Amino acid sequence: MVSRRNFLKKSALSLAALGTPLARSLKGTNNLFPSESTSIGIAGWTFRFVDNEDAAKMMQRLNVKEVTLKDFQLPLDSSQEEIDQTLQMFSEAGVSVYGVGVIYMETKDEVDQAFEYAEKADVPIIVGVPTYELIPYSEKKVKEYDIKLAIHNHGPEDDLYPSPGDVYEKVKDLDPRMGLCFDIGHGERAGTIAAEGFNQYHDRIFDMHIKDVTEASKDGQSVAVGRGIIDFESFIQALAEKNYTGYYSLEYEDNMREPLAGIAESIGYFRGVFSTI
């Protein structure tokens, strides 16, 4: 078991070091399909009503290689063996688990549990939401475990982190492994245009939730990529210009009980725009 875990750890580190293929020239990468992914992953929440085996099959079919896992896919109190089984199943489908979350943390015990869990899962990133009071304790854990904490912005209704700027203000002077999971849909709903948010906060962005929304306001609904108001051309252009090497994952939330078509349409749209940059 140890040797496989070490291998996984090494793979995760290599991925983190190399970053995503955005660092390469993007022009004409569709010539490389399907041997190389354009590197968009999928955020676990997308699979709210899909079991892990079907999720892995969907990703394999769409040539998506990276995923984050939510607690309903991998419970926070899972044993090492349970975690290994789940990672192994995804790995056999060619899918690497690069993060866990979103994990809400309201007590020190919950912070402890999140880092223990991420350590067992060998992931470089926790997507999480600590209370303000727990930020210093979370930073201590980030240093202790050498696992990044990417705090998630959740739109106008969120008491703690409505916009990516609200996260950035809290982390910008902390350990460089304290940063953002920039949710571009919730960002637009809170008044932050995707490309502009990326350009402002990119030095602390470790992960992103890619989606589209029907309106740039509280009432905006999450829809398939390309069906809403987000300007993906300027957003992907911004990633390329900054040579972004972090992660980013589709979070599809529209037809969640039968998500395959919406996921496929979203991934297709994103890659289509991507191919022109």
Binding region for a second copy (CB under 8 A): 28, 30-31, 33-34, 58, 61-63, 224-229, 231-233, 260-276
Q: Which is nearer to a second copy, 160 or 240 (CB)?
A: 240
User: CA separation (Å) from 194 to 171, 187, 189, 203, 248?
Assistant: 20, 7, 10, 15, 13
Q: Which is nearer to a second copy, 104 or 269 (CB)?
A: 269
* Token pair in block for residue 99: 């993060």
Q: Which is nearer to a second copy, 141 or 271 (CB)?
A: 271
Q: Which is nearer to a second copy, 103 or 225 (CB)?
A: 225
Q: Which is nearer to a second copy, 173 or 258 (CB)?
A: 258
The least distance separating a second copy from the CB of residue 45, rounded to whole angstroms, comes to 20
Q: Which is nearer to a second copy, 89 or 264 (CB)?
A: 264
The least distance separating a second copy from the CB of residue 5, rounded to whole angstroms, comes to 33
The least distance separating a second copy from the CB of residue 227, rounded to whole angstroms, comes to 5
* Token pair in block for residue 140: 């201590």
Q: Which is nearer to a second copy, 208 or 267 (CB)?
A: 267
The least distance separating a second copy from the CB of residue 270, rounded to whole angstroms, comes to 7
The least distance separating a second copy from the CB of residue 210, rounded to whole angstroms, comes to 12
Residue with tokens 């991925």: 15
The least distance separating a second copy from the CB of residue 20, rounded to whole angstroms, comes to 18
Residue with tokens 């703690």: 160
Half-sphere exposure (Cβ direction) of 22: Cα atoms closer than 13 Å: 23
The least distance separating a second copy from the CB of residue 186, rounded to whole angstroms, comes to 19
* Token pair in block for residue 195: 């490309």
234: which residues sit within 8 A by CB, 6+ positions away?
194, 195
Q: Exposure pattern of 126-153 as b/e (b: 16+ CB <10 Å)?
A: bbbbbbeebbebbbebbeebebbbbbbb
